[in-house]
Amino acid sequence: MSDLETHQAKLAPFLAQQKDGILNLIGGQSVAAASGRTFATTSPVDGSHIADVARSDAADIDAAAQAAKAAFPAWAAMDGKARKKLLHKVADAIVERAEEIALCDCWDTGQAYRFMSKAALRGAENFRFFADMAPAARDGQSLPTASHMNVTSRQPIGPVGVITPWNTPFMLSTWKIAPALAAGCTVVHKPAEFSPHTARLLAEICRDAGLPDGVLNLVNGMGEDAGRALTEHPDIKAIAFVGESKTGSAIMKQGADTLKRVHFELGGKNPVVVFDDADLDRALDAAIFMIYSLNGERCTSSSRLLVQKSIAAEFQKKLVARVNQIKVGNPLDPQTEIGPLIHQIHLDKVVSYFDVARNEGATIAAGGKAMEGDGCYVHPTLFTDARPDMAIAQEEIFGPVLTVIPFEDEDEALSIANDVAYGLAGYLWTNDITRALRFSNALEAGMIWVNSENVRHLPTPFGGVKASGIGRDGGHWSFDFYMEQKNIAIALGNHKITQLGMG
């Protein structure tokens, strides 16, 4: 039996379990949408039906918010060491079910197994990291003056809403949910409608690990119904969202009336800038990896390649050869490097840019078309002869599509790199350390990697500038969002109080 056949056989029982549909989990109970409505989720691999999913609305969100509100006082008051122990149990259970999670994410999203096999384990690492921070979550500091001792502390903000995307859905959900729980918040989670499967698995894992009822609630549904109700609900104190910039703007408007705190990780049109003094073989590997892994459906993908003109011709030649060798296929096959895109709607969006590129005068040096047959497959694509003002150089395509733009010198490279609405990440390849520091300091991006692909370190801040987001994940930056700061000023001695009304 081949590895593909083995994975298909292992996936079969999990798919069979979904015949009864994917329900919400509210207050520890599995429930259908109050309206009884459902929507169908299908696999991008072959268009086959996976399950009918609860299509929730404001009534379901209200029930989940009430459950989160009721559970909050006890969860917030729980000793940090006890929360740490519980969250480590969650991490252990994630590891035990890692293969199931990976296979479900592959079938649900089309992401290749070679990447999803690690995603669940990274999710477990997220839970462990923030579990270890839970005992010190409330720690503050003393800020004395001559007359007062100021004692600061942090307290969990309350029930929060978490809205997560369809790309690497399990792992990205843990990025938001783990720190919220570690901080002492309760959560209402609305996953993307295209990828509800592993959100249900995570909710079950947390419940079975002993998380008290109502601490983590799952509500499925569409953005315009369940999502909007969550962002508007008065008992939800904050919204953490990963997704498209336009949706982030809508969420901010919807939460305005209740003065909701928001944390957004949004889109990107991230540059990888290659100077002629770089290690070109390593730069080539990194540029390919950061756009064609995960189907190009990642916010930190390096979708613009800025390459110095003195090396552009040779670099592009090698790039075309490598792109044409990328293996596209069934995501359950460990040899597959690119699987199908998430949904026909998204495939149509990505493919539409092929005509845009032609009309703008760019060259399609590789790919440029969808694949025939069942499923949402597209050839990995490379645009060359592009100008910085073209739509393919300005807009987030969010697929396995790379746009190459040549530059003359450092000033031009920086101008091109910054001339987009986004500012999430940037990648710089040069062996000139002075240039690396100078260029990185001037690059408008929240995260920059020099002579490296995206390597995530959990204690560091993760987030973007401009249209790429608000706020930061990672380490204590996550707690800054999920917690409120409190200051208590205690008078030292009988200091003189100004007297009024004494005649």
- For residues 104 and 111, give the distance between their C-alpha atoms in angstroms, rounded to a whole number: 10
Percent helix / strand / coil, the chain, rounded to 5: 45, 20, 35
Q: How confident is the model at residue 198 (pLDDT cuts 50, 70, 90)?
A: very high
Q: ∠ CA(332), CA(105), CA(165), 5° rounding?
A: 140
Q: Is the pLDDT of residue 19 over 80?
A: no
Q: Which pLDDT value is given to residue 499?
A: 87
Q: How confident is the model at residue 150 (pLDDT cuts 50, 70, 90)?
A: very high
| pLDDT average, residue stretch 125-153 | 93
Pairing of strands 401-407, 304-308: parallel
The answer on 431 and 472 residing in a single domain is: no
The string of pLDDT tens digits covering residues 428-454 is: 999 999 999 999 999 999 999 999 999
The answer on 281 and 205 residing in a single domain is: no
pTM summary value: 0.96
Q: How confident is the model at residue 20 (pLDDT cuts 50, 70, 90)?
A: confident
Q: Which pLDDT value is given to residue 225?
A: 96
Q: How confident is the model at residue 242 (pLDDT cuts 50, 70, 90)?
A: very high
The answer on 262 and 278 residing in a single domain is: no
Q: Which pLDDT value is given to residue 318?
A: 98
The answer on 168 and 40 residing in a single domain is: yes
| pLDDT average, residue stretch 89-95 | 98
Q: Which pLDDT value is given to residue 1?
A: 79
Q: Which pLDDT value is given to residue 16?
A: 85
- For residues 103 and 198, give the distance between their C-alpha atoms in angstroms, rounded to a whole number: 10
Q: How confident is the model at residue 140 (pLDDT cuts 50, 70, 90)?
A: confident
- For residues 130 and 446, give the distance between their C-alpha atoms in angstroms, rounded to a whole number: 22
What string of H, E and C letters represents the secondary structure of 213-270? Answer: CCCEEECCCCHHHHHHHHHHCCCCCEEEEECCHHHHHHHHHHCHHHCCEEEEECCCCC
Q: Which pLDDT value is given to residue 317?
A: 97
Q: What's 294's domain CATH number? A: 3.40.309.10
Q: Which pLDDT value is given to residue 13?
A: 87
- Active-site residue identified among 125, 193, 232, 265: 265
Q: Which pLDDT value is given to residue 478?
A: 95
* 358: in domain: yes
The answer on 474 and 446 residing in a single domain is: no
The answer on 108 and 20 residing in a single domain is: yes
Our count of domains for the chain comes to 2
The answer on 403 and 367 residing in a single domain is: yes
Among residues 324, 330, 370, the alpha carbon closest in space to that of 346 is found at 370
- Long-range residue pairs from 33-38, CB within 8 A, at least 24 positions apart, any chain: 33/57, 33/60, 33/220, 33/221, 34/59, 34/60, 34/63, 35/59
The string of pLDDT tens digits covering residues 472-496 is: 999 999 999 999 999 999 999 887 8
**Residue 42: strand pairing partners:** 49
Q: How confident is the model at residue 501 (pLDDT cuts 50, 70, 90)?
A: confident
Identity of the residue numbered 13:
P
**Residue 308: strand pairing partners:** 407
- For residues 336 and 169, give the distance between their C-alpha atoms in angstroms, rounded to a whole number: 19
3 state SS of 305: strand
| pLDDT average, residue stretch 498-503 | 84
Phi/psi at 380 (5° precision): -60, 135
How far the first Cα of the chain sits from its last, in Å, is: 97
Q: Which pLDDT value is given to residue 420?
A: 98
Q: What's 213's domain CATH number? A: 3.40.605.10
3 state SS of 301: coil
The answer on 157 and 16 residing in a single domain is: yes
- For residues 66 and 109, give the distance between their C-alpha atoms in angstroms, rounded to a whole number: 31
The mean predicted confidence, pLDDT, of the chain is 96
Q: Give the whole-number percent of the chain exceeding pLDDT 90.
A: 92
* Structure tokens, 2: 């081949």
Q: Is the pLDDT of residue 110 over 90?
A: yes
Report in angstroms the alpha-carbon separations of 281 from 138, 417, 429, 451: 47, 22, 11, 11
The string of pLDDT tens digits covering residues 167-196 is: 999 999 999 999 999 999 999 999 999 999
- For residues 51 and 406, give the distance between their C-alpha atoms in angstroms, rounded to a whole number: 47
* 492: in domain: no
Q: Which residue has the tokens 């549904």?
A: 221
The answer on 287 and 159 residing in a single domain is: no
- For residues 427 and 414, give the distance between their C-alpha atoms in angstroms, rounded to a whole number: 12
| pLDDT average, residue stretch 275-301 | 98
The answer on 257 and 386 residing in a single domain is: no
Q: Is the pLDDT of residue 503 over 80?
A: no
The answer on 444 and 313 residing in a single domain is: yes
Q: Is the pLDDT of residue 497 over 90?
A: no
| pLDDT average, residue stretch 216-241 | 98
| pLDDT average, residue stretch 361-375 | 97
- For residues 13 and 107, give the distance between their C-alpha atoms in angstroms, rounded to a whole number: 13
- For residues 101 and 43, give the distance between their C-alpha atoms in angstroms, rounded to a whole number: 15
Positive or negative CA dihedral for 253, 255, 259, 260? negative
Q: Which pLDDT value is given to residue 101?
A: 96
Full domain range(s) for residue 145? 3-266+468-487
Is residue 299 annotated as part of the catalytic site, yes or no?
yes
- Active-site residue identified among 104, 299, 337, 453: 299
Q: Which pLDDT value is given to residue 45?
A: 97
The answer on 472 and 327 residing in a single domain is: no
The string of pLDDT tens digits covering residues 299-340 is: 999 999 999 999 999 999 999 999 999 999 999 999 999 999
Residue that finishes a domain, picked among 403, 424, 450 = 450
